[in-house]
Amino acid sequence: MAATSSDAPVQETGLSRPELASRANDRAAMRRRLMLLAPAVLIITICGLAPLSIVLAYSWMQPAEYAGVIPQFSPDAWINLAFERDLFSDELLPNFAYYSIYARSIMMAGMTTLLALAVGFPTSYFIATRAPHRRNLWLFLITIPFWTNLLIRTFAIMLILRDEGVLNVILLKLGIIDTPLQLLFTNWAVSYGLAYAYLPLMVMPLYASMEKLDFRLVEAGYDLYASRFQVLRRVIIPLVKPGIVAGSILCFIPAIGDYVITSQLGGGKRMMLGTLIAMQFGPARNWPQGSAIALGLMIIVLIALFIYAKKVVARSNMR
C-alpha cells in the first residue's frame, strides 16, 4: 500500500485501486490550484489581454474622420512607423519626423537611466553596507516619494525649476547669476523628473544584488593591490551586474513611453513617444496610428527583455 504517494512512478500497466484513487485526488488538487489562479487570470484577461487585442485590431484598421476606427483592413499605420507616403507620387519615403522622435525618446530614456544609475548605485551601496536592521528603514525612505501622486510630484519639480522657482531665486540671491536660467522645459528637466520618479525602480534591484555581494571579495580586491576605483570596476560592478541591468531595464522602459512627466517638464516643445501616442488619440484623431506606435514600442521592449533574460539571467544562474 506504499503506492499512495502521488509522485511514485507507476510501473505496472494495470492500476491498483489505491493508485486510481490517488489519481483522482491529484486531479482534484489540480482543480483546486487552478481555482486559486482564476482571479488573476480573470483580471489579466479583462484588463490586459482584452484591451491589448483591441489595440492590436485597431492598429490594422483605418482611422475614422472624427476619432475611432473604420473596421476595414489597412497596414498604413504600421507602414507609417517607418515610412511616409509622398503626397504627390504616393511613393514610400523614410519618415524622418518619426525617426527623430524615436531617437529623442531613446536618448531621453537613456539619460534618465544613466542619471538614475549614477544616483542609485551609491545609494544602494550605502544601504547594503548598513547594519541589517537599518536597511529596511532606508529602503522605506527611498520608496516614500512613490506614494505621492505623480502629477503632484511633477508640479513640485516645476516649482523648483521654473524661472521664478526655488533654484533660480537662490542662485540670483547668491549673485551667481544675473538672469534666471532656463531650467524648465529642457531635456535636463525631463530626465531629472524621470530619474526622480523611477529611482526606486533602479535602487530596488541594485540593492538586491548588492545585499548578496560578499564583501570579503572587496577585501580580497584591496589585498591584491586594487585601488578603490579598481575594486569598484573589477570586483563590485561585475558582481552586481545583474542588478545594474535589471534596474536599468526597469527604469528605461517606463521612461521611454512616459507621458505625464515629459509633457509637463518638457513643455511639449519636443515630441516624444508618449506625447506622440497621446497626440494620435487626441488632436490627430488617428487611433490606428497611436495603436501601432504603442504596440511597436511594446514589441521592442519585449525583445530587449528577451535578450536580457537569455544573456544575463542565464549567466547568473551558472554561478
Partner 1 sequence: MVAGATAIEARNVVKTFGSGSEAFNALDNVSVTIRQNEFFTLLGPSGCGKTTLLRMIAGFELPTSGEIMLDGQPVAHLPPFKRQVNTVFQSYALFPHLTVAQNIAFGLEMLRRSKSEIDAQVDKMLKLVQMEPMRNRRVNQISGGQQQRVALARALAPHPKVLLLDEPLSALDLKLRKGMQIELKRLQMETGITFIFVTHDQEEALTMSDRVAVMSKGKILQIGTPTEIYERPSDRFVADFIGETNFTQAEVLERQGDEGRLRLCSGVEIVQQINSLAGIGDKVTLAIRPERIELAPHDDACQFSGTVQNVVYFGTDTTYHLNIQGGGHMTVRLQNRWGHQSVLQAGDEVGLRVPPEAMQVLKD
Contacts with partner 1, residue ranges (CB under 8 A):
214, 216-217, 219-227, 230, 234-235, 238-239, 318-319
Smallest distance from the beta carbon of 211 to partner 1, in angstroms? Answer: 16
Smallest distance from the beta carbon of 315 to partner 1, in angstroms? Answer: 9
Instruction: Please give the DSSP secondary-structure letter assigned to residue 6.
Output: T
Smallest distance from the beta carbon of 237 to partner 1, in angstroms? Answer: 10
Contact by Cβ (8 Å): 81, 293 = yes
Smallest distance from the beta carbon of 219 to partner 1, in angstroms? Answer: 6
Contact by Cβ (8 Å): 202, 248 = yes
Q: Which is nearer to partner 1, 73 or 229 (CB)?
A: 229
Smallest distance from the beta carbon of 231 to partner 1, in angstroms? Answer: 8
Q: Which is nearer to partner 1, 63 or 243 (CB)?
A: 243
Which DSSP string corresponds to 204-258?
HHHHHHHHH--HHHHHHHHHTT--HHHHIIIIIHHHHHHHHHHHHHHHHHHHHT-
At residue 73, the 3 state secondary structure works out as strand
Q: Which is nearer to partner 1, 156 or 226 (CB)?
A: 226
Q: Which is nearer to partner 1, 106 or 226 (CB)?
A: 226
Q: Which is nearer to partner 1, 42 or 237 (CB)?
A: 237
Cα–Cα distance between 77 and 29 in angstroms, integer?
48
Contact by Cβ (8 Å): 108, 255 = yes
Cα–Cα distance between 242 and 318 in angstroms, integer?
12
